[in-house]
Structure 1
Amino acid sequence: MTLRELSLAKQHELRVEVLPDKKLTVGLRRGDAEIFGAQIGLGEKVTIHGQKIAIFTYGGCLLELDGDAEVMYTSEETPMEAYINVHNVFENQRTKAQSNGGQGPRVMVVGPTDSGKSTLCRILINYALRLGWSPTFVDLDIGQGSIAPPGTIAATPVQLPVTVEDGYPLDVPLVFYFGHTTPVQNANLYKFQVERMATLLDRRANRHPTVAASGMLVNTMGWVEGLGYELILHAIKALKVDNVLVVGQERLHSQLESDLRQARNPRIQVLRLPKSGGVVTRSPETRRADRASRVRDYFYGVPRTLMPHSETIQSTELNIYRVGGGRQAQSSIRPAGTASLMNPLKITPVRVGNEISNCLLGVSHARTAEEILSVSVAGFIFIQRVDVRDDGEGTVTYLAPGPGSLPGRYLLLGSIEILNFT
């Protein structure tokens, strides 16, 4: 596509899909425009790499486009009116909390896979930022990961706009490495980490009135039935959520309304919002590719401008652990009257060998092995090569975001493995 201009009518949006090996530059020539709630300044240019985005205008605008797009079309059917309405509700709650020294809205966004939950979170966070608030973003979606790589439960304070070029700020994120992309692997550990996260966020909010008044936005997994639904209810309670936004599914909305009402918790408001017509349903293969891309983004940046460091060390220098004994048998398939003998929160040392090759490992802040369960991780390394003999002696080559010694002695292994990483 050559350089061209495109006029967008008021309350319309331009939906664009750019392939990973292509880029599109968007500039604002006239009017107002925003991408997922982040404003584009007049004369500013935004570069899009391998993303699906929507450019919305309230009053109409003239855009300048330069580059390649796989898909591009305009639409007047958007959910933005509903989104701005709930934003106004939360703005009133924040203002009230600020005046009385209380807690601002704690908002959880739920819905099935590929319903636009992450996008809605980003829009509401950017709208809050535009009014001077600093909300906390909590990401419980271990399958994809918006703050940290897949397999993590993470939270970060947000003080700058979340743009398509920079994403969420990563200066002081709080990250727990669950280590798997589905909670089936260890639901008890998932609950434990959500509760630990909630405790730490409560402490921060209690120390800083502005943080408390700004509230939080919580993104969730797309699994909304069975164990997935159970974990939604658990997270609502642990994080003291008082506003639940259900995107696109009437059944889930009705179920949550009924169950939360029976729990006699009148402070929780459950609202249903429409799903955007621009949301694209991804195949399992696409989702796996997206997960691998998120891991690469961590080391190489977007668009691949960072320079990670490869290091080879003796295998004996690594202290690797995993949490739990692997997948537990479900109660429905265990003999009647029996219980699982595996401790889902047990910390077990891992022998260095080919098992860790091509795996993502979390670098724990723990000072002792016993602390691994309750503390966050400082970052991640990727195991590139393992050359270890049967006696355990040999070398391991890993990729780190930068040179120098690792920020922690203890490493966490899960089940996240990326083949053909580079």
Structure 2
Amino acid sequence: MDARGRPGAPPADWEAAAAALVGQGGLVLVLGASDTGKTTLTRFLVERIRGAGLAVAWIDGDMGQATLGPPTTVTLACFPRGPGPPAPATQRVMRFVGATSPRGHMLPTVVGLARLAARARTLGADATIVDTTGLVNGPAALALKTAKCELLQPTACLALERAGELEELLQGLPAWVRPRIRRLAAAPFSRPRSWQTRRAYREARLRAYFQEARSLPLPASLIAHARPVGLPKPEEEAAAWTDLVVGLNDEGHDTLALGVVEAGSPGEGWLVVRTPLGSAEAVRAIVPGSLRWRVEHILDGGSR
């Protein structure tokens, strides 16, 4: 609610942050623990900027509770400037992280975000809003957020808090970042969600994404050589690859689509991947992740 107590209206400090962003543009990092309203704030800022007739980019950096793309990815949506009602996104670009958490996948996370931010600049965004994960506690959180700041060089960091829970994280960020931090009230209408609810959301998003998937044979020579520790090597038996979620990337390493390994023998030179991608023509790399998702869940709508 706002300062006048109207339920559902954005807080007054959100309105002030939006007005500042419309005036200065740049790149904004949205920080906050889980269930503080980061995505709600991001959507609010995007709509305010679009309403001002400016071009805006939304980067969804939460690969677990993904909004713009499927889980395991970070995704860019660009909205053009222009008069009249805000236009829909003209371009979406996806980068495969390989998991539903940045833990163990920090390098593809920060590299993916940096590449998406660069794409937003190329596409002429006046402002770019980066939604982030709820990982805010401990050394891993500080390392991740610091890397994001160093690579993205935000003009502002909007920190959503309920009771000062971000203090340690914010004080640990590089000195040049701290003057750019703007603390905002957490969304008053946001409610905590259980891990079961979060898992169900991920499952539903994956099922919806793979609803129109089909089997696509691919040469195993496309399997990327750089893969997280513990994943099977290409010469290992097919059983080690079955149900592995993979990214199907183009020559620029943008992700064309996700896939789930259905069958095949990498040692013999082939894989069959279930994917919504219609053709293998543009695929230049198969990037293994660390998430497994049974093909049967795609076919029968079940969940694991």
TM-score class, shorter: 0.7 to 0.9
TM-score of the two chains, using structure 2 as the length reference: 0.80
Residue aligning to 2:153: 240
- For residues 350 and 197 of structure 1, what CA distance do their matches in structure 2 show? 33
Which residue, out of 255, 263, 271, partners 1:377? Answer: 255
Runs of 5+ unmatched residues, structure 2: 82-87
Residue aligning to 1:258: 171
Letter in 2 for 1:188: L
Measure how far apart 1:240 and its partner are. 1.3
SS in 2 for 1:288: helix
Cα 1:118–1:352 shift into 2, 3 Å: farther
Tell me the alpha carbon deviations over residues 159-208 of structure 1, each in whole angstroms, 9 at most, x when there is no partner.
39xxxxxxx84x53232211012222233343333444444445x16xx4
Cα 1:198–1:247 shift into 2, 3 Å: same
Which residue, out of 126, 130, 135, partners 1:223? Answer: 135
Residue aligning to 2:74: 153
SS in 2 for 1:108: strand
Contact 1:322 1:413 in 2 (8 A): no
Cα 1:144–1:251 shift into 2, 3 Å: same
Which structure's residues are more often helix, by fraction? 2
The answer to which structure, 1 or 2, has the higher relative contact order (CA under 8 A, 6+ apart) is 2
- For residues 350 and 294 of structure 1, what CA distance do their matches in structure 2 show? 32
Q: Kindly indicate whether residue 2 of structure 2 is the aligned counterpart of residue 81 of structure 1.
A: no
Measure how far apart 1:287 and its partner are. 1.5
Which residue, out of 93, 96, 100, partners 1:181? Answer: 100
Contact 2:34 2:134 in 1 (8 A): yes
- For residues 297 and 158 of structure 1, what CA distance do their matches in structure 2 show? 24
- For residues 220 and 293 of structure 2, what CA distance do their matches in structure 1 show? 23
Cα 1:147–1:294 shift into 2, 3 Å: same
Q: Kindly indicate whether residue 5 of structure 2 is the aligned counterpart of residue 127 of structure 1.
A: no
State the superposition RMSD in angstroms: 3.4
Tell me the alpha carbon deviations over residues 367-418 of structure 1, each in whole angstroms, 9 at most, x when there is no partner.
xxxxxxx7222222233x3265x974887362324x4445314211102222
SS in 2 for 1:294: helix
Contact 1:321 1:350 in 2 (8 A): no
- For residues 350 and 251 of structure 1, what CA distance do their matches in structure 2 show? 50
TM-score of the two chains, using structure 1 as the length reference: 0.59
Contact 1:112 1:249 in 2 (8 A): no
Measure how far apart 1:319 and its partner are. 3.0
- For residues 179 and 127 of structure 1, what CA distance do their matches in structure 2 show? 32
Letter in 2 for 1:178: V
Letter in 2 for 1:123: F
Which residue, out of 250, 273, 277, partners 2:184? Answer: 273
1:224-373 correspondence runs (5 A): 224-225=136-137, 226-255=139-168, 258-260=171-173, 263-265=175-177, 268-300=179-211, 308-311=212-215, 313=217, 316=219, 319-321=222-224, 323-326=226-229, 349=234, 351=236, 353-366=238-251
- For residues 273 and 129 of structure 1, what CA distance do their matches in structure 2 show? 21
Aligned positions, number: 289
SS in 2 for 1:173: strand
- For residues 7 and 78 of structure 2, what CA distance do their matches in structure 1 show? 33
Contact 2:61 2:131 in 1 (8 A): yes
Tell me the alpha carbon deviations over residues 102-145 of structure 1, each in whole angstroms, 9 at most, x when there is no partner.
xx232111111121101110111011111111111112212222
- For residues 31 and 205 of structure 2, what CA distance do their matches in structure 1 show? 22
Tell me the alpha carbon deviations over residues 284-325 of structure 1, each in whole angstroms, 9 at most, x when there is no partner.
22212211222223244xxxxxxx242354x75673336334
Identity among equivalent positions (%) equals: 19
Contact 2:136 2:169 in 1 (8 A): no
Residue aligning to 1:408: 283
SS in 2 for 1:183: coil
Contact 1:79 1:275 in 2 (8 A): no
Which structure's residues are more often strand, by fraction? 1
Letter in 2 for 1:279: S
Letter in 2 for 1:183: P
- For residues 108 and 216 of structure 2, what CA distance do their matches in structure 1 show? 31
SS in 2 for 1:224: coil
Cα 1:78–1:309 shift into 2, 3 Å: closer
For the pair shown, which has the larger CA radius of gyration, 1 or 2? 1
- For residues 327 and 75 of structure 1, what CA distance do their matches in structure 2 show? 52
